[in-house]
Structure formats: C-alpha cells, structure tokens
C-alpha cells in the first residue's frame, strides 16, 4: 500500500527511506549467481526471475536439485534466503515460488492430473488476470477455488466472463502456459518517483526533490552503460490527478547536467495548480555507445561532463550518497 496510507493506519510506525542503490547492487549479485546455471534468464524485478534450466540438467542435476543449489549459493554469498518454484512452465513456477515464502521450495508435478490436483485447492484469485473485481464476480457465483473453475464447462465460464477471458482462464486452470522464457529483455526506460509525506506547495521544494531523482536516474543510466534520447516529467496533484510531460534530447546523453537542464525546462512550463503529491523523472529511448550517433560538431564538454558524473558516482559508491552533493542542495 502507499506509505501515506500505511502512515494513517500505523501512525507510530517507523518509516525508513529506501536504499535503491544498495538493492540494485545486491540484485546484481543474485542475478550473477543465477547466470552461472543458465543463460536463459528472464528478469521480472530486482529480486525475481524466470529460468529455463532444461539444457543445464546434465551439468547441475534436475530442476529441484538446481533450485536447491541456487538457493544455497544465494544464502552463502549474500546471507539472504530465496524461495523457488520448479514447474513445467512460467505460470506454474510463479505460483509455486509464492506458496511457501520465505525460504521455500515448491515442486509442481509434471503430469496433467498432478498439475490439476496441485492447482485445485488454490484460491481462484491466484490465476493471472483475476483481480479484485473479477474475483468478486466469480466468488458471487460460487467459484472460490481454481478447482471450482476447472469443473465449469467453457460455455458456462463464457457466460460469466466472456469468451476471450474464459479460454484464457480455462487454460491457466489446467496449468497450460506455452510462453517461453525471454532472456534479458532490454531495458527501454529508467525512472524514479518520490511521494511527499504531505502535499507540497513550495515550487523550490519540488524542484529540489526533482534534482535528486535526476541524479538517481543518471547513475542508473551510467551503470547500464546506456544513453537516453528523451526525458519525462511526472507530477501528481492533490486528489491524484496526474500529468506527464516529455522532451526529446538534442543528442543521446547520460550526464546529470544535460538531464537536469531538460527536467527543469519541463518543470518550468508547469504551473503548480494544486499542491504536489508526487514528482517523478524518467528517461526513455535508451541506446548503447555503439548506437549513439553524435553530431559532427559535438559539444566539447559532453565527454568531460560524463567523466565528472562517473567520478561522482564512484565517490558516492565508496563513501555514501551524501559524501558529495550538487551545489545549492540541502
């Protein structure tokens, strides 16, 4: 839930700022471990991924044995526990990995009858695409579990949810999912957001936070060794009305000076019509060095600014985020 909501429910709670750079560093450790076992790795988030280990079994053992080895390596090298689901496809593996957290290992049967039996007692809300509204509609008709849905004919289910959804849900209820693992989907954008504890009317305060978000996005870009071709500003007003504004950069860039200039230009065009609840900044259209087409008469300061930013990154990595700051920051 949003921290604002949690704060109202638990006013004496201790709320700590996230450490995204630290999380990203540990995530890189974990993904390096996963890559030892298979190159067929599809990241879902900082701490979750699909792995296709079909071709690795001659070296590392069967699926459950590989899962045990991965979990042991993560524990030994990072001190963290990890949950895993071993299954014939992505849908079943995802469900299995969630069943016995934390530090759980769940193995799904391979045969159709065993798969049906595994899914049958689970709440119908476990199916992908069954959100709160759909779950309430199904439960109102007595469909509480996946087993209840398995027993419906396609025609019966179609009358409740429509043909397209009915076919999709029946496939999942039987444990069928033919999607392949998609290795290392290319990062197409990077963004950061900040929700204020109380809605802010002070333009300078919003811009100060925006500058910090630009710094974070810039560090992530340089860590990915990518360059942005466009930037985006996001503002959410009191009342949750949200606007986004975009700008194309004159040439692909990854230095904080260029990114901050573009962010300030977008922000300067917007009147703060209401108190600001959230501000966000992102970059998109990422390209690599090889795909970066620089102008014939490149700004001679471009490379120098990038070197400065990478030096600042290194200092912050070693001495902490607050060891070196932008002039004028608090």
Beta bridge partners of 152: none
pTM, two decimals, is 0.60
Orientation of helix 20-35 relative to helix 203-224, angle to 10°: 20
Give yes or no for a cis peptide into 208 (omega within 30° of 0): no
Q: What structural domains and CATH numbers belong to the chain?
A: 18-173 (3.30.70.270), 189-319 (3.30.1490.100)
Which residues are the active-site residues? 48
Query: What per-residue string of b and e applies to 296-316 under the rule 16 or more CB within 10 Å gives b?
Result: eeeeeebeebbeebbebbeeb
* Rounded CA Rg of the chain: 24
Q: How many CB atoms lie within 10 A of CB 18?
A: 8
Instruction: Kindly give the confidence (pLDDT) of every residue in the chain, 330 residues in length, as a single tens digit, with 9 standing for 90 and above.
Output: 778 888 899 999 998 887 877 888 888 899 899 999 998 999 888 889 999 999 999 999 999 999 999 999 999 999 999 999 999 999 999 999 999 999 999 999 999 999 999 999 999 999 988 888 889 999 999 999 999 999 999 999 999 988 888 999 999 999 999 999 988 665 678 889 998 888 899 999 999 999 999 988 988 888 888 888 899 999 998 777 889 999 998 888 888 888 999 999 999 999 887 899 999 999 988 887 644 554 434 555 666 676 776 776 676 666 665 656 666 544
d(CA 10, CA 44): 30
Whether the Cβ atoms of residue 160 and residue 141 lie closer than 8 Å to each other: yes
Residues with Cβ < 8 Å from 103, sequence gap 6 or more? 71, 81, 82, 83
Tokens of 322: 């607050």
Q: What are phi and psi of 251, to 5 degrees?
A: -150, 155
């Amino acid at each position: 839930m949003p921290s604002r909501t949690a704060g109202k429910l638990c006013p004496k709670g201790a709320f700590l700022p996230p450490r995204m750079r630290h999380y990203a560093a540990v995530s890189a450790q974990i993904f390096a471990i996963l890559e030892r076992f298979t190159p067929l790795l599809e990241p879902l988030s900082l701490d979750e991924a699909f792995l296709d280990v079909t071709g690795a079994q001659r070296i590392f053992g069967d699926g459950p044995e590989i899962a045990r080895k991965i979990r042991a390596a993560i524990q030994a090298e990072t001190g963290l526990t990890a949950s895993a689901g071993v299954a014939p496809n992505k849908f079943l593996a995802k469900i299995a990995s969630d069943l016995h957290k934390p530090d759980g290992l769940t193995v799904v049967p391979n045969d159709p009858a065993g798969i049906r039996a595994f899914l049958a007692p689970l709440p119908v809300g476990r199916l992908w695409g069954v959100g709160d509204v759909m779950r309430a509609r199904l439960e109102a008709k007595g469909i509480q579990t996946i087993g209840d849905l398995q027993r419906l004919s396609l025609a019966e289910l179609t009358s409740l949810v429509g043909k397209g959804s009915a076919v999709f849900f029946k496939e999942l209820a039987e444990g069928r999912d033919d999607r392949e693992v998609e290795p290392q989907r290319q990062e197409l954008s990077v963004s950061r957001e900040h929700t204020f504890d109380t809605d802010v009317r002070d333009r300078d305060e919003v811009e100060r936070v925006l500058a910090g978000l630009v710094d974070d996005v810039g560090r992530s870009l340089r860590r990915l060794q990518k360059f942005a071709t466009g930037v985006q500003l996001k503002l959410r007003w009191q009342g949750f009305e949200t606007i986004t504004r975009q700008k194309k950069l004159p040439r692909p860039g990854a230095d904080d000076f260029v990114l901050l200039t573009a962010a300030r230009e977008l922000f300067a065009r917007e009147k703060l019509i209401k108190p600001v609840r959230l501000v966000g900044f992102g970059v998109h259209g990422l390209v690599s060095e090889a795909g970066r087409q620089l102008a014939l008469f490149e700004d001679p300061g471009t490379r120098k600014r990038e070197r400065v930013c990478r030096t600042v990154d290194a200092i912050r990595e070693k001495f902490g985020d607050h060891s070196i700051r932008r002039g004028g920051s608090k």
